[in-house]
Amino acid sequence: MGADVASWPTGRLLSVAARVVEKRFEDFLAGRGLTHAGMITLHHLADGPRSQRELAVLCKVTDQTMSRTIEHLDRGGHVVRSQDPNDRRRTSVKITPAGRRALAAARREERESDTLLGAVDDYEHFRRQLIALIAAATSTTED
């Protein structure tokens, strides 16, 4: 990227930054046998077991997509699945110690890595700004 980056419109800056960070984070996760979808799923499992259906809703994906994500996480030892004894159609998913370690490593990488967000001076302020931007943008599109 040349010096002209300072002249780019903000939308382009956001788009390019998102793609660059996403690619670097995907590479980091792949090195640990994870995907972005798997990472989001582990995030939702951190507070306790959830049903596959509940995870699909929280992650805003179809049941089939969540099924594939859980299968991948299960094969990698990041989650365990069990059948609900009260409803045999329901699958309960629980994060494993390996899944907790992977989640913690990804969170650390996000906050501390020079490769991912090292150019950000104040991580928490940056997060608040992104949250405000997303909230404002989605409230106008949902109204």
SS3 assignment, position 82: strand
Which pLDDT score, from 0 to 100, does residue 6 have? 85
- Condensed to tens digits (0 to 9), the pLDDT of residues 37-74 reads 999 999 999 999 999 999 999 999 999 999 999 999 99
Q: Quick one: CA torsion of 53, 57, 60, 66, rounded to 10 degrees?
A: -10
Q: Domain 5-112, CATH 1.10.10.10 — does that match?
A: yes
Which pLDDT score, from 0 to 100, does residue 141 have? 56
* 22, 25, 39, 104 from 29: Cα distances, Å: 10, 6, 8, 12
Residue 56 φ then ψ, to 5°: -60, -45
For the residues of 60-74, what is the DSSP string, one character each? T--HHHHHHHHHHHH
- Condensed to tens digits (0 to 9), the pLDDT of residues 79-126 reads 999 987 778 888 899 999 999 999 999 888 888 877 776 677 788 888
pLDDT at 138 over 90: no
Residue 79 φ then ψ, to 5°: -140, 165
More confident residue, 85 or 14: 14
User: b/e for 17-40, b at 16 or more Cβ within 10 A?
Assistant: eeeeeeeebeebbeebebbebbbb
